[in-house]
Amino acid sequence: MLVSKKIRTCATFLALSCIHTLVAHADGSLACELDYAKNFTIEEYADYKLLTVSNAYRSARSVYRYALIPHRATLPDDLPRDVIVIRTPVQRVVIMETVYVGYLDALGQLDQICGAASASYINHPKVIQGVESGDIQSIQSGQKLNIERLLLLQPDLILTTSLGEGQIDVSPQLQRAGLPVVLTADYMEHHPLARTEWLKFLAAFFETDDRSNEIFNTIKAQYTRLVDKTKGINERPSVFCGAPYSGSWYVPGGDSFIARAIQDAGAHYLWSDDPSRGSLPLDTERVFLKAAEADYWIHPSHYRSLSELFNADPRFAKFGAAQISQVFNNTRQVSKNGGNNIWERGIVHPEEVLADLIKIFHPDLLPEHELIYYENLQ
């Protein structure tokens, strides 16, 4: 731990809230060193926290900075001019993506949700009940975004992501309306545990740092123990992912969190040599040329049976994995409206997803494990 004399008070505070190495900066701030996440930083000043988000989408050039200041505290004189101020702890939160349900559930903050976009695709029973009762308002997104309705909710925080596409991204409209919008970039991370580590970013808004650190360290330990089981494997089955959507087959890049999970599960991802973190749009013929003899096919869009898959495109039956019924989808926990728990709890708990993948690729390594998120299509 590196602490200068002039920031000793700040160091004492952070030592309690951030169970990590603390690095002192020349400007008098302290920064928490993160284990995996690359797309955010947390810096602690004497009277506020500064959170910075980078790489918010594929072509992002800007960074986004948020100053977290306690309620009733005066604005600091040294506050950077380009920051968005959020008063903490937040009590009324609008979520524009279902992924935040998993994070807020882990942090014990589901009761703070007052509005949700894509509400029909939420999986968590408590949030569904809140939407049905009216305690949580259903919010339209994209081109149907209703700013007035959001203003009436008086949220302390609006959580959203960006694809860098002006026609569908809502964050610029929210900012122009003076709403407290915060961009996250967990989906651009390269490692499953990096996405989990975004718990620390979100915990700062609720002042639940201790809880986030404890949860992360537990998940990290469990994930690492599972990876140790596959390190000595020499014969790694080949795997490909996805299915066509709107004419293109989007396969995860070789530096994506999905590719890393497949590797950690003891398999060989066919696009592992690609440096992308996002998805690659390919045509079916190109995918077939590379994956025709692959051992496993996972994440085939929304399909839940081989007959559905083959009816969508008869060419799918030519894949070797389909011919030997080695097609698995992460659709075991899907609500009646299509909400998938793997995009809620599964993002926060990659150790559960990893256990499923190991069970699929190397069942002898986890003989007692029962699949949580995946099912074998028949």
The number of domains in the chain is 2
In-domain check, residue 227:
no
Element (H, E) at 221: helix 209-230
Structure tokens at 55: 């790489």
Same domain, 319 and 352: yes
137-139 vs 113-117, strand pairing mode: parallel
In-domain check, residue 225:
no
In-domain check, residue 315:
yes
Same domain, 351 and 239: yes
Q: What is the pTM of this model?
A: 0.90
Q: State residue 14 phi and psi, 5-degree precision.
A: -70, -30
CATH of the domain at 172: 3.40.50.1980
Same domain, 316 and 188: no
Same domain, 174 and 46: yes
Same domain, 332 and 247: yes
In-domain check, residue 226:
no
How far is residue 150's CA from residue 174's CA, in Å, rounded to a whole number? 9
In-domain check, residue 221:
no
Average pLDDT per consecutive 10 residues, the chain (378 residues; last block may be shorter): 33 43 58 92 93 83 92 90 95 97 98 95 96 95 86 96 73 90 94 97 97 97 98 95 94 94 98 90 95 98 96 96 98 94 98 98 98 98
Same domain, 288 and 349: yes
In-domain check, residue 111:
yes
In-domain check, residue 222:
no
Same domain, 181 and 42: yes
Rounded (5°) CA angle 150-155-161: 75
Question: Which is nearest to 159 in space by CA: 149, 178, 143, 174?
Answer: 174
Structure tokens at 130: 């809140």
Long-range CB pairs of 224-229, under 8 A, 24+ apart, other chains included: 226/264, 226/351, 226/354, 226/355, 226/358, 227/264, 227/354, 229/266, 229/358, 229/365, 229/366
Same domain, 14 and 120: yes
Same domain, 140 and 16: yes
Position 21 scores a pLDDT of 54
Strands of the sheet containing 244-245, edge to edge, are 244-245, 248-252, 279-282
157-160 vs 181-183, strand pairing mode: parallel
Q: Are 378 and 157 in contact (CB under 8 A)?
A: no
Residue matched to tokens 């499923």: 356
Same domain, 36 and 132: yes
Give how far the C-alpha of residue 79 lies from the chain's centroid of Cα atoms, to the nearest Å. 29
In-domain check, residue 363:
yes
What is the residue-wise DSSP string for 88-137?
ES---EEESSTHHHHHHHHTT-GGGEEEEETGGG---HHHHHHHHHTSSE
Same domain, 204 and 278: no
Q: Other CB atoms closer than 10 Å to residue 230's CB: what's the count?
A: 19
Same domain, 321 and 198: no
Q: Which domain holds residue 36?
A: 5-215
Q: Which of 164, 188, 215 is the last residue of a domain?
A: 215
